[in-house]
Amino acid sequence: MLKKNVETFLGCDSDWRDARVVLFGAPFDSTTSFRPGARFASAAMRKESYGLETYSPYQDKDLADCKIFDSGDLELSFGSPAAALSDVDRRAKHILKDGKIPFLIGGEHLVTLGAVRAASGAYPDLHIVHFDAHADLRGEYLGAKLSHACVMRRCHELLGDGRIFQFGIRSGDKSEFTWGKERVQTRLFDFEGLERTLDALAGKPVYFTVDLDVLDPSVFPGTGTPEPGGVSFEELRKAVTLVCSSANVVALDVNELSPHYDASGASTAVACKIVREMLLAIQKQEV
């Protein structure tokens, strides 16, 4: 009797029971204003992750030694951001309820809002560490409040002042920066001050959201809105490893890979490697 065809991200084949981290994909990009396609990210990453090894020479750790479950992709309603966010919220809640860490693979950045809702329900003192090229602090965008360009503003409405810490930001409407000045900590262009921020967050529950367009488009062209002038792969690799290994990360996501703009596959490989390093680094909490 042959087995069913189970597909997971590289090395994420634990049983649900044992798993401490649970992956899920949110293939959604309906509010993307410039170039859609992030909906294809989670499937592409699952498939292309097999170009990587499970072992990381950076951390001398192996995914084969970790307990991770891949619960596949949600089936989301295109054209209905509210419904899609509810579905993301529900899945994340399900995972959190069992004491596990939800790891969301977007999709456009708006999907983060669904997971932040779930995480802030479970951890009222939630803080957000946010890597991105774009501030995403607009009040509304083209008449819509549920838009990728407003996602951090919506998160701020949930969490309040002083809870969001942005790094790598290099693009935004002037008014976003003005609005954010007193409410959000925004580090322009790079990760300077990250260690200090993590020290200040010691012990607090952290939602960690990585918009991969924080990377320079030379490293990561495969995204909806390429913003020249970003960080290098090494800078991002070190920064995500630091956050995942030293903060109390209770939920996390990686988003905005758009495989259609990744003719060479290099961006998908970058996304997969960043996820691998995050999965390996977060394991310290299992001890």
Which residues make up each annotated binding site? 109, 132, 134, 136, 211, 213
Is the bond preceding residue 107 a cis peptide, omega within 30 degrees? yes
Q: Is 218 in the site for its own copies (CB under 8 A)?
A: yes
Cβ pair 287, 241 in contact under 8 A: no
Q: Is 242 in the site for its own copies (CB under 8 A)?
A: no
Q: Is 287 in the site for its own copies (CB under 8 A)?
A: no
CB of residue 233 to its own copies, shortest distance in Å: 5
Q: Is 283 in the site for its own copies (CB under 8 A)?
A: no
Q: Is 227 in the site for its own copies (CB under 8 A)?
A: yes
Tokens standing for residue 174: 């002037």
CB of residue 108 to its own copies, shortest distance in Å: 9
Query: Could you tell me which of 111, 120, 199 has the C-alpha nearest to residue 160?
Result: 120
Nearer to its own copies, 34 or 160 (CB): 34
Q: From residue 150 to residue 179, what is the string marking binding to its own copies with x (rule CB under 8 A)?
A: -------------------xxxxxx--x--
Count other Cβ atoms within 10 Å, centred on residue 146: 18
Q: Is 39 in the site for its own copies (CB under 8 A)?
A: yes
The rounded distance, in Å, linking the Cα atoms of 256 and 244 is 19
The rounded distance, in Å, linking the Cα atoms of 63 and 67 is 8
**Listed ranges 116-124, 157-165, 199-207, 262-270: which one lies at the site for its own copies (CB under 8 A):** 262-270
Q: For 40-64, b where at least 16 C-beta lie within 10 A, e where not — what string?
A: bbbbbbbebbeebebbbeeeebebe
Binders in 177-196 for its own copies, by CB under 8 A: 177, 188-189
Nearer to its own copies, 42 or 197 (CB): 42
| Bridging pattern class, strands 101-106 and 68-73 | unpaired
Radius of gyration of the chain (CA): 17
Nearer to its own copies, 23 or 155 (CB): 23
Cβ pair 132, 145 in contact under 8 A: no
Q: Is 263 in the site for its own copies (CB under 8 A)?
A: yes
Candidate list 18, 75, 161, 182; residue touching its own copies; CB under 8 A = 75
